[in-house]
Amino acid sequence: MQWPEEVTIREVGPRDGLQNLPAFIPTETKIEIIRGLAEAGVTAIEAASFVSPRVVPQMADAGEVLTGLADLPEDVVLSALVLNTRGMARAAGSGVREVMAVVSASEVHHLKNTNKSVDQSLAELQELCFLARDSGVILRGAVAAAFGCPYQGVITSDQVKKVLDPMAEAGIEEITLADTAGMGNPRQVFELLEDITTCYPSIALALHLHDTKGLGLANVMAGLQAGVTILETSFGGLGGCPFVPEAAGNIATEDLVDMLQSMGINTGISLEGVISCTRMMEVLLGKMLPARIR
């Protein structure tokens, strides 16, 4: 077996981790947590999403959060999620360096998430690319529900490729495959990644995994064996899609860092620093978070 010497962990807690919380987290607290994650050695952080504040009120202060982090070191790359050209325009105006465009492999999930069909969003993708280039912003792609959908059930490789094809044609160089509902298993993860890597050899693939069935870290192992070295996690195991029933959180950043470090795989992240951010959030929420490493 071949194991990577180093893995990049993209922290998605400030976006995916917070978006489903019922109580609004103060802007100053979000900024403080992101700074804490950066100080812990996290160099890729999904800090916000530019979506409708009516639908996801937790992200209403996305612009203010990014403005408050403008002085972070150059090696810390902040990114934001967008779903349409309006969100892209807002993101570009915020000074963010990377933007992620998300399209679901599930028609039903995508409609609930965006109020558009998959084809409508894919048709809009080229315009998002033009806006990103004009603004000097890097555009990444993400395929949601790539490993299963609670509404549609099994998602096939062809359904994933329907989304990947236009992203690849648009020149997007990094694409995340997301197990949005946590329905994937290690064999499925490995086989889909093998197929996608063969079909799109020039695209860097990332994995975004949820721990619904407790298979998150097992799926990571399958991803590593398939050659993936970019993994998305959330401090404390926070997270869950607002449009997935009883959505479970992401893999906890500290759990993944601990596992990789024990395997001799470098992440450049301080375990204690991430745990400190989790404890801060636990105090704020008044409850323990799902992370196993404490």
pTM of the model: 0.95
- The answer to whether residue 229 is domain-embedded is yes
Q: What is the DSSP letter of 203?
A: S
Which of these is catalytic: 129, 149, 199, 241?
A: 241
**Average of per-residue pLDDT values in the chain:** 94
199 is catalytic: no
Instruction: Indicate the pLDDT class of residue 249, thresholds 50, 70 and 90.
Output: confident
Residue 129 lies in a domain: yes
Note whether residue 46 is domain-resident: yes
> Considering its fold, how many domains does the chain have in total?
1
Tell me the C-alpha distance between 164 and 142, whole Å. 9
In a domain, 290, yes or no: no
Contacts of 73 (CB under 8 A, 6+ apart): 38
The verdict on residue 293 lying in a domain is no
Q: What is the CATH number of the domain that holds 153?
A: 3.20.20.70
Instruction: Answer whether residue 199 is part of any domain.
Output: yes
Q: Tell me the one-letter amino acid at 74.
A: E
Long-range contact list for 237-240, CB < 8 A, 24+ apart? 237/211, 237/289, 237/290, 237/291, 238/13, 238/16, 238/17, 238/18, 238/21, 238/281, 238/289, 238/290, 239/12, 239/13, 239/16, 239/17, 239/19, 239/20, 239/210, 240/16, 240/20, 240/210
**11-59 pLDDT per residue, tens:** 999 999 999 898 999 999 999 999 999 999 999 999 999 999 998 999 9
Counting residues of the chain whose pLDDT is more than 70, the rounded percentage is 97
Dump pLDDT digits (tens) for 140-164: 999 999 999 989 999 999 999 999 9
Could you list the residue range(s) of the whole structural domain that residue 76 is in?
Answer: 8-285
Confidence of residue 247 (pLDDT cuts 50, 70, 90): low
Residue 291 lies in a domain: no
Residue at 154 is within a domain? yes
